[in-house]
């Protein structure tokens, strides 16, 4: 496989459930990102990992918990979510988190619905 | 605060030319990106401008004026497959990406 792969593509969960989103990149990149995309709103950066170290946490509620076991895999653990958390969650990777052109390669996203 | 403005939606005709504008107010500037996102798919990189002027890539061109805080994406010879959302993003002085809300482009036959 090539590029950035996200699973599951669709997820419906209740507010008391625990679930995880998975992201895998096969590009040899060293930085990985979680973004939230809501309709008609700008992309919201949630977390950044650079060389497996978390370098960014944009005041994300603790019900979202990221995990980066290696530079190819990124998880987003979900617990006691709210209906307003329903959105498309996009994973992205880039060569590194530095100052070059740093083009992002995105996955197709996980569409989350919280009931 | 930091802000990126782009039109919410535009409509154009197959075979025509369309220009999607993006204006920005950010803390510093370290490059401007355009991404294309088809419905239900991943955003994909289109162009990167860091110096003033026009960058051409086939049917797509991107222009930047740093003094005006302005960019546009120009799409020529429109095809139905160009129906998508176009996202503008600016990297600020801290190398953080600031995103616009995207422009949904509808192509009609």
CB B65 within 8 Å of CB B38 = no
Residue of A42, A99, A109 with shortest CB distance to B42? A109
Q: How far is CA A52 from CA A2, A6, A72, A102, in A?
A: 20, 18, 9, 17
Residues in B touching A40 (Cβ below 8 Å): 8, 101-102
Residue of B31, B40, B99 with shortest CB distance to A42? B99
pLDDT over 90 at A100, yes or no: no
Q: What is the pLDDT of residues A34-57, one digit of tens each?
A: 999 999 899 999 999 988 888 877
Give the residue ranges of chain B where pLDDT is below 70: none
Instruction: Tell me how far apart the alpha carbons of residues B34 and B102 are, in angstroms, rounded to a whole number.
Output: 10
pLDDT over 60 at A1, yes or no: no
- Long-range CB contacts for residues B47-53, cutoff 8 Å, separation at least 24: B47/B73, B48/A101, B48/A103, B50/A101
B43 to chain A, any CB pair closer than 8 A? The answer is yes
Instruction: Tell me how far apart the alpha carbons of residues B100 and B71 are, in angstroms, rounded to a whole number.
Output: 12
Torsion, Cα B59 B65 B70 B75, to 10 degrees, reads -10
Q: Stretch A50-78: mean pLDDT, rounded?
A: 90
Taking CA–CA distances from A90, the nearest residue in chain B reads B42
């Amino acid at each position: 496989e090539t590029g950035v792969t996200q699973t599951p593509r669709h997820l419906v969960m209740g507010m008391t459930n625990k679930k995880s989103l998975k992201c895998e990149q096969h590009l040899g990149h060293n930085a990985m990102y979680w973004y939230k995309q809501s309709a008609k709103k700008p992309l919201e950066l949630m977390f950044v990992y650079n060389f497996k170290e978390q370098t960014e946490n944009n005041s994300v509620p603790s019900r979202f918990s990221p995990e980066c076991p290696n530079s190819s895999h990124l998880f987003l653990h979900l617990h006691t979510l709210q209906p307003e958390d329903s959105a498309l969650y996009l994973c992205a990777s880039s060569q590194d988190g530095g100052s070059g052109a740093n083009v992002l390669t995105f996955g197709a996203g996980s569409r989350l619905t919280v009931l | 605060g930091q802000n990126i403005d782009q039109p919410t939606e535009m409509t154009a005709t197959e075979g025509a030319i369309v220009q999607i504008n993006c204006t920005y107010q950010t803390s510093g500037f370290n490059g401007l990106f355009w991404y294309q996102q088809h419905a239900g798919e991943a955003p994909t990189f289109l162009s990167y401008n860091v110096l003033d002027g026009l960058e051409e890539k086939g049917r797509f061109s991107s222009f930047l004026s740093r003094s005006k805080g302005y960019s546009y994406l120009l799409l020529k010879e429109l095809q139905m497959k160009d129906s998508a959302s176009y996202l503008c993003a600016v990297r600020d002085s801290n190398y953080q990406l600031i995103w616009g809300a995207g422009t949904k482009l509808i192509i009609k036959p």
